Structure 1
Amino acid sequence: MGHGADFDRAIGLLRRLCHGPRSELGKVLKTIPPNGPFWKYGNVTMRIRSKEAGMDPVVFPHWSHRARYTCRVCHQELGFGMRRGDSGITRGQYLSGKFCGACHNGITAFTVQAGPGAQCGRCHMKNPQQLEALFDEFSQSLPMAGFGNGIDWAAALNEGLITPANSLKGSVVVLPFPEKLKAPLKLGTASPRSDVSFSHEEHFAELDCSSCHPDIFNIKKKSTEAFTMDSNIYGSFCGVCHMLVAFPMNDCRRCHKGMNNNSSY
């Protein structure tokens, strides 16, 4: 199932099952990413304003951008919200150099401006499947993963296969990573599965602390009382990224190190 209308329907069904048996949640979990084609995972389709303007929807492939820039560039420097729909992008904004227009100016990347050289079809796609061949070529030299879009992005970064810029402004001052956060954070679980191992350091390589705190994780202990597998699957906490762009929750062993990915939910 690809990222789009079918995915939204699956998430809607998950929400309706919020108070149902966990076995039912497990069945639905198997119907959402990564069961779609790798090239679709992480693509964001923006329809509302495009439809109002009589244009094909905008399809944004995260995979083609994250090899060039860290998440921090778009979600901190350019102000894109971490949750879908938070930014409210308008054509006027990106034509004035904001959001997509910061790069798509005809110098850094193809321009969003109208004119003889306009390339509207690069974003407004009648047939998004044109991305498939581009993805196949793009991913050939990158380490493989079995989930999400089939790329192990952490390995690609650590091995120097991608060197994403951390700012559009050239050199940028990055605060040193706190020593006390270098050890993985161990989180116990109430259910019969392995504990969770969370690395602040791996996330800090592409994000700022403010990407997650305080909007997604409040830091205060009382704010994480609702931190459950279910709440993550519904798109809260880790699920803000790890159900849409980063590797999905189906890849259990990426967090639950001792858990078999074939285990039932």
Structure 2
Amino acid sequence: MNSTTLFLAAVVLLSCLGNAQAMDRSELGDVLKTIPPNGPFWKYGTLVMRRRTKKAGMAPVVFAHWSHRARYTCRVCHLDLGFSMRAGDTGISRAQYTAGKYCGACHDGVTAFGVQDGEPSLCARCHMKDTQALEASFETFAAPLPIAGFGNGIDWAGALKSGRVSPRNSLSFAAPSMPLPEKLHLPMKLSTAAPRSDVTFSHEDHFSELDCSSCHPDIFNIKKKGTVDFSMDKNIFGNYCGACHMRVAFPMNDCKRCHSYMSNFSGF
């Protein structure tokens, strides 16, 4: 069986467990279509938002995480600007945009292109009838960045540590609200039910782009035994780690990125 077949078989098995909360099966299917080798690299982490645009008779908004995260850390949008970490939770309106909220905080015609005056040629920068230009720009964008075998083919952690990308951590150039506590600088070793599959988790790596409130308490409850139902199938359906690692950050079929001892296994 090839890698795609194995991954899909695993997902079908997990869907039968009935533990999905963050995504339903159709949503999970849409996500799987974007994960290489099912989809091209540029498409992973690229959101197509059409729920409101369809009613307005406009082309869907196509948002490429990869083009933004080279300029800003995840913290800027998901803390400073208030975008939910869960897909579909925020519900942006044009009125909010033109008032300088959400995307409008940068897309004001000064920091980045804006459409406050309703100029059609600029509207098409986000409301895309086709994605050919976006696809072509990804090749140029990704060329100087370190390569990864999963997700959108870019090793973002490596790019950040090597200085190939230097994203701003705040729109106001302010420092994060609090430093990372000293005891969290060392990686955490988390045991699992399966042998030789312990998880190594780095708060430090995540804090370089996020804030404590990005994960706690909405995604991970920090109370003792607050995540007793944490499991791989919950992750696959977009809960816990899967809130990011099934949509934007490296996907769940890049197993060894977390399960470093799975030396004979390279992914579903």
Of 33, 36, 39 in structure 1, the residue corresponding to residue 35 of structure 2 is: 33
2:4 is aligned to none
2:122 is aligned to 119
> Quick check: 173-182 or 244-253, which moved more?
173-182
The CA distance in 1 between the partners of 2:32 and 2:59, in whole Å, is 30
The CA deviation at 1:123 is 0.4
2:106 is aligned to 103
The CA distance in 1 between the partners of 2:93 and 2:160, in whole Å, is 32
Structural RMSD (CA) = 2.5
Of 135, 140, 144 in structure 1, the residue corresponding to residue 138 of structure 2 is: 135
Residues 57 and 126 in structure 1, CA contact (< 8 A), matched pair in contact too: yes
Change (3 A) 1:263 1:171: closer
Does 1 or 2 have the higher relative contact order (CA < 8 Å, sep 6+)? 2
The CA deviation at 1:247 is 0.2
The CA distance in 1 between the partners of 2:120 and 2:262, in whole Å, is 52
The CA distance in 1 between the partners of 2:204 and 2:250, in whole Å, is 17
Of 74, 79, 82 in structure 1, the residue corresponding to residue 85 of structure 2 is: 82
Of 70, 80, 86 in structure 2, the residue corresponding to residue 67 of structure 1 is: 70
The CA distance in 1 between the partners of 2:118 and 2:126, in whole Å, is 16
2:16 is aligned to 17
The CA distance in 2 between the partners of 1:145 and 1:30, in whole Å, is 18
Change (3 A) 1:40 1:130: same
The CA distance in 2 between the partners of 1:173 and 1:12, in whole Å, is 37
TM-score (norm 1): 0.87
Residues 157 and 163 in structure 1, CA contact (< 8 A), matched pair in contact too: yes
Report whether the alignment pairs 1:223 with 2:238.
no
Of 146, 149, 163 in structure 1, the residue corresponding to residue 152 of structure 2 is: 149
Correspondence 1:152-167 to 2 at 5 A = 152-167=155-170
* Cα-to-partner distance string for 1:131-184 (whole Å, 9 max, x where unaligned): 111000001110000000000000000011111001111233542221101111
Letter in 1 for 2:229: A
The CA deviation at 1:262 is 3.7
Residues 169 and 176 in structure 2, CA contact (< 8 A), matched pair in contact too: no
Change (3 A) 1:140 1:263: closer
Residues 10 and 32 in structure 1, CA contact (< 8 A), matched pair in contact too: no
The CA distance in 1 between the partners of 2:245 and 2:264, in whole Å, is 16
The CA distance in 2 between the partners of 1:242 and 1:65, in whole Å, is 17
Letter in 2 for 1:109: A
The CA distance in 1 between the partners of 2:227 and 2:106, in whole Å, is 37
Letter in 2 for 1:219: I
2:23 is aligned to none
1:171 is aligned to 174
Report whether the alignment pairs 1:198 with 2:201.
yes
Percent identity at matched positions? 62
The CA distance in 2 between the partners of 1:122 and 1:75, in whole Å, is 22
The CA distance in 1 between the partners of 2:223 and 2:130, in whole Å, is 45
The CA deviation at 1:212 is 0.1
1:6 is aligned to none
Of 238, 241, 244 in structure 2, the residue corresponding to residue 238 of structure 1 is: 241
The unaligned stretches of length 5 or more in structure 1 are: 1-8, 21-27
Letter in 1 for 2:67: S
Letter in 2 for 1:155: G
1:210 is aligned to 213
Change (3 A) 1:136 1:258: same
The CA deviation at 1:17 is 2.1
Q: Helix, strand or coil: the match of 1:168?
A: coil
The CA deviation at 1:113 is 1.7
The CA deviation at 1:86 is 0.8
Change (3 A) 1:173 1:203: closer
TM-score (norm 2): 0.86
